[in-house]
A and B are shown apart, each in its own frame.
Chain A
Amino acid sequence: MTDLMNLNGQVALVTGASRGIGKAIAQQLVARGVKVIGTATTENGAAAISDYLGEHGEGLALNVTDETSIASVLKHIDDTYGQLDILVNNAGITRDNLLMRMKDDEWDSVMDTNLKSVYRLCKGVMRGMMKRRNGRIINISSVVGTTGNPGQTNYCAAKAGLAGFTKSLAQEIASRGITVNCVAPGFIDTDMTKALTDDQKQAIFSNIPAARLGQPDEIAAAVVFLASPGAAYITGETIHVNGGMAMI
């Protein structure tokens, strides 16, 4: 019987892999026999990734808002590994502010890092995946891209944008054996949610039927599934992983 979860020998690029959800994704992929290239914004972050990946991959510094930086990482992957099967667009930032107080650079940096980066990276990997008639692109969006969240007009707009991008690209390349999907985390136990105040957390918990934060591994599990051969017929879809806080 074919193992529909078998990812052995594949190569994955995971952005924002130094901690939190990205790190969990990288580690879960490694556990399935995938070579993982994890990226971070700094050389220190990249070294930390190399440390935890060991012989199963490497960490690289990548600025997802810089086309040259992206091109050099993709070239390195091509030269070193000769293929890229899985792209996980996970890198993201928040610059929260009420709209009335929001500065242009808070809006622009979130759009650039969370949305335009995905456009750049997808474009960069497209040729190779098209030629091999195989590929998995998984974009990490967020529940708030669907529900909205006060103080996050920029972040929610970028994450909602990812959903539309994902559906369009999925339609363009489905016939080439490439799937494009989103995983939309709810509130996950990471540095990003540690920045929330106690009042914010209390308000959030009262809306989560599971009554707890999600763990990064629980997001990674959905990513691994979408990357697997068993998910070949799922494309343009968003899997929500949020403990029931939004059933969409």
Chain B
Amino acid sequence: MSTIEERVKKIIVEQLGVKEEEVKPEASFENDLGADSLDIVELVMALEEEFETEIPDEEAEKIRTVEAAIDYVKNHAND
């Protein structure tokens, strides 16, 4: 079983079509990984599915970096 970190990174790679080495913890989806607002919505949806959780809008708004995504899942996922 892969770690939460690996699973989140895999989703980011798939959703944003970026290389694995670009997915650094501090990388911003918008500024570093070229995501637009719809990409981020899709990314959040994919995280919700992978981790069987629902991410409220006000929380989703804060998920703007790789690290923020990993932290959110670590704190909330029904894993």
Contacts and interface: CB of A to CB of B under 8 A. Distances in A.
Interface string A225-238: 00000000000000
Contacts of B42: 130
A175 B38 contact: yes
From DSSP, what is the main secondary structure of chain B's interface residues?
helix
B18 interface: no
Nearest to B39: A175
Nearest to A173: B38
Interface in A156-179: 172-173, 175-176
A15 to B, nearest CB: 25
A176 B38 contact: yes
A101 interface: no
A169 B27 CA distance: 29
Interface of A: 127, 130, 172-173, 175-176
A233 B78 CA distance: 42
A124 to B, nearest CB: 14
Report the interface size class on chain B: under 10
Nearest to B42: A130
A84 B5 CA distance: 33
A122 to B, nearest CB: 14
Interface of B: 38, 42, 45
A168 to B, nearest CB: 13
Contacts of B45: 127, 130
B50 to A, nearest CB: 13
Contacts of A127: 45
A175 B42 CA distance: 13
Contacts of A173: 38
Nearest to A130: B42
B9 to A, nearest CB: 20
Nearest 3 CB-CB pairings of A with B: A130-B42, A127-B45, A172-B38
Contacts of B38: 172-173, 175-176
7 contacts: A127-B45, A130-B42, A130-B45, A172-B38, A173-B38, A175-B38, A176-B38
Nearest to A172: B38
B41 to A, nearest CB: 9
Nearest to B36: A175
A173 B39 CA distance: 10
A175 B37 CA distance: 12
Contacts of A175: 38
Contacts of A176: 38
Nearest to A176: B38
Nearest to A175: B38
A176 B37 CA distance: 13
B35 to A, nearest CB: 12
Contacts of A172: 38
B60 to A, nearest CB: 14
